Amino acid sequence: MKHEDQSPEAHPADTEWMSNNSEGWTVTVEKQEGATSLAEALHALITEDPDQGMRMGWLHSSLQRAAGGEPGYVRLYELHVSPEFRQRGVARDLVDELFARVPDQEIILSAWDRDPYGVWLKPGFSYVPGPDEMSGSRSSPGDMVRPPVEAAS
Ligand SMILES: CC(C)(COP(=O)(O)OP(=O)(O)OC[C@H]1O[C@@H](n2cnc3c(N)ncnc32)[C@H](O)[C@@H]1OP(=O)(O)O)[C@@H](O)C(=O)NCCC(=O)NCCS
């Protein structure tokens, strides 16, 4: 896939690379204990270098259904860019692509890392503090959220 084009769906042949380019997550084709899978993905996207076709980064999201008629949300489970391709907008493009695919749904980061805080705020996530969190503190568990931007048709 070309970097400037739409990200393509990950294929079974990509899972080994995804597992080797993660923060310890194992990616499988079928649902498996202790792994994240293409089968459970709402989106599994891979960005490739347009010149050499090398995989540069990937994103995995899943749909969290809510009980009792409450609205569900999209859980962004993993976003990873290979070290040699960082700081070139690869993550930004993947997040933008996710946002564009589900404009009518809330997106919540799963187990997000506090360190690259700006990565999330720049494309449009907002930090929603936890109920007991002091204003301005990032030490307690809050959520990184992209609210729905348009109603479902
Ligand atoms: C975090 C990560 C996905 C960023 O990927 P990337 O392709 O380098 O990010 P981008 O180049 O698209 O940068 C997007 C924005 O975030 C900023 N940014 C990137 N890395 C950052 C960091 N470590 N700290 C703060 N800001 C950062 C960039 O400056 C850029 O801002 P800009 O739009 O104003 O220029 C990548 O460093 C990574 O894979 N890290 C290890 C895995 C990880 O931490 N994943 C996130 C938790 S699930």
| Domains contained in the chain, CATH given | 12-146 (3.40.630.30)
pLDDT at 123 over 50: yes
pLDDT-derived band at 97, boundaries 50, 70, 90? very high
Say which amino acid occupies 32.
Q
Helix (H) or strand (E) holding 96: helix 90-101
For residue 74, give the 3-state DSSP assignment.
strand
77 CA: nearest ligand 1 atom:
48
For position 50, what pLDDT does the model report? 87
- For 28-81, the pLDDT digits (tens) are 999 999 999 999 999 999 999 988 989 999 999 999 988 887 779 999 999 999
CB 80 within 8 A of CB 45: no
CA of 16 to the centre of ligand 1 (A): 23
pLDDT-derived band at 1, boundaries 50, 70, 90? very low
Q: What is the 3-state secondary structure (H, E, C) of 17-68?
A: HHHHCCCCCCEECCCCCCCEECCCCCEEEEEECCCCCCEEEEEEEEEECCCC
For position 27, what pLDDT does the model report? 97
For position 54, what pLDDT does the model report? 95
How far is the CA of 32 from the CAs of 40, 70, 73, in angstroms? 10, 27, 22
CA of 87 to the centre of ligand 1 (A): 6
CA of 36 to the centre of ligand 1 (A): 22
- Stronger pLDDT, 118 or 94, i.e. the higher one: 94
For position 3, what pLDDT does the model report? 42
How far is the CA of 149 from the CAs of 100, 103, 106, 111, in angstroms? 10, 5, 8, 23
